[in-house]
Amino acid sequence: MKIKFLLFVLSLFTICAEALLAQKAYHLKSPNGTIDVSINITDKIYYTVNYNQDVLLKNNYLAMEVNNEVLGNQPKLVSAKTSAINTVIKPYVALRYSTVTNKCNSLLLTFKGDYSVEFRAFDDGIAYRFITKKKDSIEVKNEQVALQFPEDYILHLQQPGSFKTAYEENYSAIHSKDWKTEDKMSTLPVLIDTQKPYKILISESDLSDYPCLFLKGTGQNGVSSVFPKAPLEFGEDGDRSLKITKEASYIAKTTGTRTFPWRYFVITADDKQLLETTMALRLASPSVLKDPSWVKPGQASWEWWNGATPYGPDVNFISGFNLQTYKYYIDFASNYGINYIIMDEGWAKSTLDPYTPNPDVDVHELIRYGKEKNVGIVLWLTWLTVHNHMDLFQKFKEWGVKGVKIDFMDRSDQWMVNFYETVAKEAARNELFVDFHGAFKPAGLEYKYPNVLSYEGVRGMEQMEGTIPDNSLYLPFMRNVAGPMDYTPGAMISMQPELYRAERPNAASIGTRAYQLALFVVFESGIQMLADNPTLYYRNPDCTEFITSVPTTWDETKGLVAKAGEIAVVAKRKENKWFIGGIANGKEKERNVQFNLDFLDKSRTYKMTYFEDGINADHQAMDYRTKTIPVKAGDTIKVKMARNGGYAAVIQ
């Protein structure tokens, strides 16, 4: 009797399970219930995303072409498993928070054909990824990331002319209905303005052994994915690159049992949330370094932007890329507690040979001198030289080098993505940190290997008059959401755009002096450059003291005022000090904003030293004022910023 009863219960359970699977419709909600993902499994795997019952993305679908089958076409569901995740992450390089709560709900859908799709719903967005359990290696011919917009959206994006890109194009804005298939594609991240309170940022994390994702318009108010093919053969292309002479028919050849990159969507009802989100971290692989304590984030004095030309009564030598000049930079760094100096192109006798220093520079003497002054040396290299001499990491460790700046990759196919990870691994093995230039955007490698301190992948200040606040005001809401960004701020010669007349060695930036100071608080990078001439920093001691007091890692971040592309004011805490940075574009002649200091400890008293735009900053961009005042929790601070202006403060 018991056996019959058990069989009856089992059959009933099977019928219920089959009935549940036959529904093929699932809802996954964020922990706070504001975001809902509706998943429908019919001829494809479709999903719709709602925020407070507003439909933001409708009938999107996903698929992956592997070998001779398309995962996600006519899918046969085997099981659906929900779970809740609630963990704490403590990133070693804490760009926004030293402690991050990773809280979300998960739905794992497993299908016939040895593959699964996992969805996660967070309070600030959603993500999904493919998982395969196939024998041997597989060839991924394509992956379909297909999004459909229910209304006409405005898309903010970078549009390169080809897959050969360093992600340094200006941002453009296009209407989703107008993005045609023949138009240029876009890099990630993409920021979607729904023209309602909501914005959606699209990017990827946990990228490994797989190419970067690009997006293109469908011509039907939607977007679809496109990927660079895997390169098979290369030809010579100068001293710092290779040209691809043969491509595969697939985008990746990889192991058959693996997880694939997360496609994530940060969804906000307030632009301030984009300044605070940690989505990329929460989806990245955890650190593989058992003891990363040797990794030291910090600031660096950099000679390239200012032409290595200090001058003045204390410079009694011919300045340039030579031993005495670099010692001057080391002395400057030591005087202000700056951790590193960057030695850019010219330190080696040849860009092709990383082992023979330029005799005019004498790297070995500079490493010795830097150690004496507590300043580390970082060496620039082309990626091609690194690829041809992977043993250089061991040699640099023997020399006493602290880090490497690797340049001109300008690609993001599977081969190059793997190169990044190989570099990170070999550098970590030899206790060297890495700063990638000529790079694609971050996608989680910096958390798996915390010695990856930054990436360029941004239209940074090296573009001189080509770097305008109208473009840079998107960076806190887009590029820095993806990860650390080596923008190289710190100009002491500031100009408004219509007055710009400058070139190296007298390099200048567009935006006010207060804007430049604020960049050190607003922009995030594990290695933050001081791009200008030590001579100018010595002549502006109040600004230099502020800049060099700004941390590169943080315990807490709070968005105070935010409108993507126009204004960003953020407060960041390191231990018991708060720093505030505010930047504005050139849309309005001046901006009057206010914010509350309710984040301060009510039991303490504070003093705030601030830098603000001077009365003439709208045409003489170097005009600024500085003042120290007492403040307390709950005070309201009123700020006036000039066009292309800024505001910077420290509260202690």
For residue 462, indicate whether it is catalytic. yes
Q: Is 43 a catalytic residue?
A: no
* CA 287/CA 280 separation, integer angstroms: 14
DSSP reduced 3-state for 198: coil
Question: What's the token pair of residue 277?
Answer: 């989100």
434 burial class (0-12, 13-18, 19+ CB within 10 angstroms)? buried
Residue with tokens 């024998």: 135
Contact of 614 with 603, CB cutoff 8 Å: no
Q: Which of 337, 375, 339, 374 is nearest to 549 (CA)?
A: 337
Q: Strands (DSSP E) along 334-438, which ranges?
A: 340-343, 348-350, 353-357, 376-382, 403-407, 433-436
Q: Give the Cα separation of 78 and 64 in Å (integer).
A: 18
Q: Can you give 442-502 as a three-state secondary structure string?
A: CCCHHHHCCCEEEECCCCCHHHHHHCCHHHHCCHHHCHHHHCCCCCCCCCCCEECHHHCCC
Contact 515, 646 (CB under 8 A): yes
For residue 572, give both structure tokens.
């960041």
Catalytic-role residue among 65, 206, 456, 462? 462
- Taking the C-alpha atoms of residue 468 and residue 459, their distance in angstroms, rounded to an integer, is 9
How far apart are alpha carbons 572 and 521 in whole angstroms?
7
For residue 33, count other CB atoms closer than 10 A to its CB: 10
What is the pairing mode between strands 125-148 and 115-122? Answer: antiparallel
Nearest Cα residue to 441 out of 488, 409, 403 = 409
- DSSP annotation of 239 reads S
Bridge partners (DSSP) listed for residue 377: 341
CA distances to 29, 71, 532 from 462, rounded to whole Å, are: 44, 44, 11
User: Per this entry, what is the length of the chain?
Assistant: 652
Look at residues 574, 566, 609, 570 and name the one whose alpha carbon lies nearest to residue 591: 566
The amino acid sitting at 83 is S
Reported as type and span, the H/E element at residue 100 is strand 100-111
| Backbone Cα Rg of the chain | 26
d(Cα 372, Cα 124) in Å, to the nearest integer? 47
Which is the catalytic residue, given 36, 271, 407, 456? Answer: 407
Gap between the Cα atoms of 461 and 510, Å rounded: 9
Measured distance CA(39)–CA(49) in Å, rounded: 9
CA–CA gap between residue 73 and residue 219 (Å, rounded): 23
- Active-site positions read 407, 462
